[in-house]
Chains A and B, each alone.
Chain A
Amino acid sequence: SQQGEEDPQALSIQEGENATMNCSYKTSINNLQWYRQNSGRGLVHLILIRSNEREKHSGRLRVTLDTSKKSSSLLITASRAADTASYFCATAANAGGTSYGKLTFGQGTILTVHP
C-alpha cells in the first residue's frame, strides 16, 4: 500500500463541527506535510510538522505526529463550508536515501462541510 494513507476517504460534517483526518505512513520521515486541494485545482500547502515535533497549530488547524505509530492527524476546528476540499498528507524522506527531498502523497480525504 501507499506511503501516506489517509483515513477516512470521505468525511461529511455540518458547519461548526470539527473535522479530523488521519494519515499513516510506512518508512521513517524527515517531516510530514498537509495539503489542501479544491476540486480540480492545484494543491495548497497547509502545515508542516517535523519528525521531532509532536504537535503544531496554525489558525484553526492542529496537526499531531506520532512517529512511534507512524501516523499523523489533521484537526480542523469550527469548520466552514469553505473548508470543503480534498486534504492530502505528504511525507518527506530522511537524508541519505534516494528519496531524500521528495514528497510522497496519500490518496487524500474528501471533506464536505454542509452549511
Chain B
Amino acid sequence: ETGVTQTPRHLVMGMTNKKSLKCEQHLGHNAMYWYKQSAKKPLELMFVYNFKEQTENNSVPSRFSPECPNSSHLFLHLHTLQPEDSALYLCASSQDSAGSPNEQFFGPGTRLTVL
C-alpha cells in the first residue's frame, strides 16, 4: 500500500448524476493531485493542491469540481459528465508540489464509467 486511498474503486453513473470521488493520504504530505488516465493516452494532470490551495487547473471542464478541505483529503465532484469522461481517475500526493524531487505516491484509482 502506498498510503493513499481512494473510494469508490468503481463507479458507474449516468450523465445526469452527481457523484464524488474521495482521496485520503496518510503520509503527512502537503500536495495532492488528480490525474485522469484514459486508454492509449498519457496520464493527464487535472488539478494540483498545495497546502489546501489550488495551484493548478489544467483546463479541466467545469463539470469536474475539486475540493481540498485539508491537506489529507481531496475530493472530485462530478456532475453532468459525458461518456468520454469514462476513465481511471488517480489521486496522488507528494511532500510539496513546488519542491523537488517531487516523488508522488498514487492511490489505486477509481474506475469511472459514464453511461
Q: Using a CB–CB distance below 8 Å, which chain A residues touch chain B?
A: 2, 4, 30-31, 33, 35, 40-45, 48, 50, 88, 92, 95, 100-108
Bound form: Cα–Cα A74–B102 in Å: 19
Main secondary structure on A side of the interface with B: strand
Among B59-67, B75-83, B104-112, the stretch that binds chain A is B104-112
Query: Contact between B48 and A43 (Cβ–Cβ < 8 Å)?
Result: no
Query: Contact between A31 and B101 (Cβ–Cβ < 8 Å)?
Result: yes
User: Number of B residues contacting the other chain (C-beta, 8 Å)?
Assistant: 29
Closest 5 A/B residue pairs (Cβ): A42-B106, A105-B43, A43-B106, A42-B108, A101-B98
Residues of A within 8 A of B90 (CB): 42-43
Bound form: Cα–Cα A95–B111 in Å: 34
Residues of B within 8 A of A45 (CB): 103-105
Q: Count A-B pairs with CB separation below 8 Å.
A: 68
Query: Contact between A40 and B88 (Cβ–Cβ < 8 Å)?
Result: yes
Main secondary structure on B side of the interface with A: loop
Query: Contact between A102 and B97 (Cβ–Cβ < 8 Å)?
Result: yes
Bound form: Cα–Cα A50–B111 in Å: 33
The contact sample of 7 A-B pairs, CB cut-off 8 A, is A31-B102, A41-B108, A92-B101, A101-B98, A101-B100, A102-B102, A108-B42
Bound form: Cα–Cα A31–B114 in Å: 36
Query: Residue on A with the closest CB to B35?
Result: A105
Query: Contact between A102 and B103 (Cβ–Cβ < 8 Å)?
Result: no
Query: Residue on A with the closest CB to B108?
Result: A42
Query: Contact between B107 and A42 (Cβ–Cβ < 8 Å)?
Result: yes
Residues of A within 8 A of B106 (CB): 35, 42-44
Q: Does B45 contact A (CB under 8 A)?
A: yes
Nearest CB on A from B99, distance (A): 6
